């Protein structure tokens, strides 16, 4: 396998870029949230506890994968202990975390420990870990080979594994409040972005799998495997081109029915949005 990236994600992030997170925010969550975050550079009013929890879970998943790659056996005790450590570190590092109750921190610690064990015990043992945390930065190439955008797509792949059933597979770890619908992975834009990047870099279009652990008293582990075609990539490129035009024209609208509203860290700015002229707002903050 070719080395995926000679640079770190933070280095790529210093130049103008696209990312799955940006696309998802603009297309699936709320274009006004995208504007507050990426155009107006508004301050986050709080940090979502789900974001902090997801980071801690992700960190322990990454650690499990690194241990497996190094051939080091991992115990249940050290895995759950490590989750607690990450949870402490992440919740301390995050500013103004909004907890639902005083006990939520402890409840989430207990849940996260169980989820970490669930992942450790459920992850198929026949999977060979090829890479962990692979940053990428690829051009948005149209079908005719030309650059469709001056900005590249950047991101970081959680893990790449190889197994006897599917060959090379890109993995993405998710902690989810509930089980995923069967068709979620098929439609998911992250799978498209990441397989697009991997295909450009490695000249190989692999399968993509979400390894989802549910955030429950008794967590469950689910695999949602999917794949993408050249036509899906072509559609992605077209979506980026249209989004680029919309961002340039400042077409930002609140999505009043977004599932994300309760967790959105720009709720105050959103409430005030229609009372401000958007042009004035963007001139003031974007400079």
Kindly list the residues in this chain that would bind other proteins in the complex (CB under 8 A): 2-3, 5-16, 55, 59, 62-63, 66-67, 70, 72-73, 78, 82, 85-86, 89-90, 93, 131, 133, 135, 137-139, 141, 145-147, 150-152, 200-201
Are 286 and 248 a contacting pair, CB within 8 Å? no
* Residue closer to other proteins (CB basis): 7 or 283: 7
Query: Residue 170, SS3?
Result: strand
* Residue closer to other proteins (CB basis): 62 or 232: 62
**Residue 82 CB, nearest approach to other proteins (Å):** 7
What distance lies between CA 213 and its chain's CA centroid? 15
Site of tokens 């130049």: 15
Q: What stretches of 41-142 show up as alpha helix (H) in DSSP?
A: 49-70, 76-93, 104-122
**Residue 257 CB, nearest approach to other proteins (Å):** 26
In angstroms, the CA 180 to CA 40 distance is: 33
* Residue closer to other proteins (CB basis): 3 or 164: 3
**Residue 278 CB, nearest approach to other proteins (Å):** 24
Site of tokens 């070719």: 2
**Residue 77 CB, nearest approach to other proteins (Å):** 10
**Residue 61 CB, nearest approach to other proteins (Å):** 12
Question: φ and ψ at 178, to 5 degrees?
Answer: -145, 175
* Residue closer to other proteins (CB basis): 82 or 185: 82
- Cα Rg, the chain, nearest whole Å: 20
**Residue 252 CB, nearest approach to other proteins (Å):** 21
* Residue closer to other proteins (CB basis): 154 or 243: 154
* Residue closer to other proteins (CB basis): 11 or 121: 11
In angstroms, the CA 53 to CA 87 distance is: 7
In angstroms, the CA 241 to CA 245 distance is: 7
- Which two structure tokens, joined as six digits, stand for 47? 């940090």
- Sequence-distant (6+) residues with CB within 8 A of 8 are 135
* Residue closer to other proteins (CB basis): 64 or 191: 64
Question: φ and ψ at 170, to 5 degrees?
Answer: -85, 130
Are 76 and 107 a contacting pair, CB within 8 Å? no
**Residue 283 CB, nearest approach to other proteins (Å):** 22
Question: φ and ψ at 79, to 5 degrees?
Answer: -65, -50
What distance lies between CA 61 and its chain's CA centroid? 14
* Residue closer to other proteins (CB basis): 135 or 206: 135
**Residue 107 CB, nearest approach to other proteins (Å):** 22
């Amino acid at each position: 396998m070719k080395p995926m990236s000679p640079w770190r994600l933070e280095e790529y992030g210093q130049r103008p870029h696209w990312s799955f997170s940006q696309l998802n925010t603009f297309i699936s969550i709320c274009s006004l949230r995208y504007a507050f975050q990426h155009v107006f550079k508004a301050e986050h009013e709080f940090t979502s506890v789900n974001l902090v929890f997801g980071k801690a879970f992700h960190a322990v998943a990454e650690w499990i994968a690194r241990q497996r790659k190094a051939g080091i056996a991992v115990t249940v005790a050290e895995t759950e202990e490590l989750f607690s450590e990450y949870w402490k570190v992440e919740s301390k590092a995050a500013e103004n975390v909004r907890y639902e109750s005083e006990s939520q921190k402890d409840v989430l610690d207990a849940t996260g420990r169980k989820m970490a064990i669930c992942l450790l015990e459920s992850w198929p043992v026949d999977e060979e870990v090829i890479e962990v945390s692979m940053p990428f930065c690829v051009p948005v190439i149209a079908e005719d080979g030309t650059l469709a955008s001056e900005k590249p797509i950047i991101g970081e792949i959680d893990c790449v594994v190889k197994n006897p059933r599917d060959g090379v597979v890109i993995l993405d770890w998710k902690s989810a409040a509930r089980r995923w619908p069967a068709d979620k992975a098929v439609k998911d834009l992250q799978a498209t972005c990441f397989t697009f990047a991997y295909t450009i870099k490695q000249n190989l279009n692999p399968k993509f799998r979400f390894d989802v652990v549910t955030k429950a008293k008794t967590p469950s582990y689910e695999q949602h495997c999917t794949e993408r075609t050249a036509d899906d990539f072509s559609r992605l490129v077209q979506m980026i081109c249209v989004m680029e035009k919309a961002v340039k024209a400042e077409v930002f609208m609140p999505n009043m029915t977004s599932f994300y509203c309760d967790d959105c860290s720009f709720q105050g700015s959103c409430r005030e949005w229609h009372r401000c002229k958007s042009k004035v707002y963007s001139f003031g903050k974007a400079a």
